[in-house]
Amino acid sequence: MNHTVKHNPLLTLLIVMMTIAIATPASAQRVLDKEEIRQLNGVDLLESQGSKLPMDAVFTTADGRDVALAQYFLDDKPTILALVYYECPIVCPTVLRSLGNTINDLDYTAGEDYRILVISFDHNEGTTQALNKREDFIRTYERSKTNPAARQGIEFFTGSEESIRALAGSVGFAFNEIAGGEYAHPISLMAVSPEGILTRYIYGYDYPTQDLKLTLLDASQGKIAASIGDRLLHFCYRYDPLAGSYSLVAFRVMQIGAGLSAVILATIIGLLFLGERTREKKRLANAQANNQSDTDSTHSSSSTTAGTNAGAAPGQMS
């Protein structure tokens, strides 16, 4: 299990700027005290790839059903997990909007190839807020208009403080409540395997379509690959934790090139061999035909000679 602390300076800066610029008029602005600075800190993300989500943690769906996380990990679908709070003014809506834009361009379908679980880490939020946010999100997902499975593959939850802490702790997601009922928290989505194992963090606000596809392929170990192209994509690209993105692995490309070259060479040799065998068969067939023609000619000549001799015999006797 990897444990790497990821800081969120952009988030801290954003919250500080909002607190200074919005919370009070210019004449009443003040320097944050030590306690407020402490609240803004402590929102690091302790990377915990390989850890398992608490399958027995119970959350409430947007339509009021209490379900254990385990119910969403009974098949081969990978999961995109988003920890947000529904009353977040800027950060969380931006994350969900960016995710929505990306899945519209993705050639995998929520509910069929993968699922999305959005869970509020504010235990004071209720199902009404979850339902409103879910409907807003699904409304922008084009495939949900024609594919019922797409709606079923997207769930928004609320939960008790105990369940939230268990889940957030398992993925290293820290958050602190700050003044005004808002929260300081990391900016990251998470990818989870069909077995409920955390496989990848997806940082920031921008989620390139190919990166999200590769993340889902990794989480499912390639099981959701829909074509040979997807399998080649998964084979040739690997996640670079230093760059925080996927990059082409030259060695893998060379392996594919060598494999293709071997296949092409074997095909050429096979075709040449097959062509030679075909020509050899033709030569044998022609030789047999010529031999048969010669045999028939010999038989015909012998019959003619015998007939001539038979016709000449009576004349000689007279």
Q: Check: CB of residue 157 under 8 Å from CB of residue 60.
A: yes
Half-sphere exposure of 172 (CA within 13 A, CB side): 23
* Per-residue pLDDT tens over the stretch 231-279: 665 556 666 776 666 666 543 445 445 555 666 766 777 777 776 777 7
User: Cβ contacts of residue 279 below 8 Å, gap of 6+?
Assistant: none
N residues, the chain: 318
In one-letter notation, the amino acid at residue 21 is A
pLDDT one digit per residue (tens) for the chain, 318 residues:
555 555 454 444 444 444 444 444 433 334 444 444 444 445 678 889 999 999 999 999 999 999 999 999 999 999 999 999 999 999 999 999 999 999 999 999 999 999 999 999 999 999 999 999 999 999 999 999 999 899 999 999 999 999 999 999 999 999 998 888 899 999 999 999 999 999 999 998 889 998 999 999 999 887 676 666 656 655 566 667 766 666 665 434 454 455 556 667 667 777 777 767 777 777 777 777 677 666 666 665 555 555 555 555 555 444
Contact 226, 113 (CB under 8 A): yes
Per-residue pLDDT tens over the stretch 93-119: 999 999 999 999 999 999 999 999 999
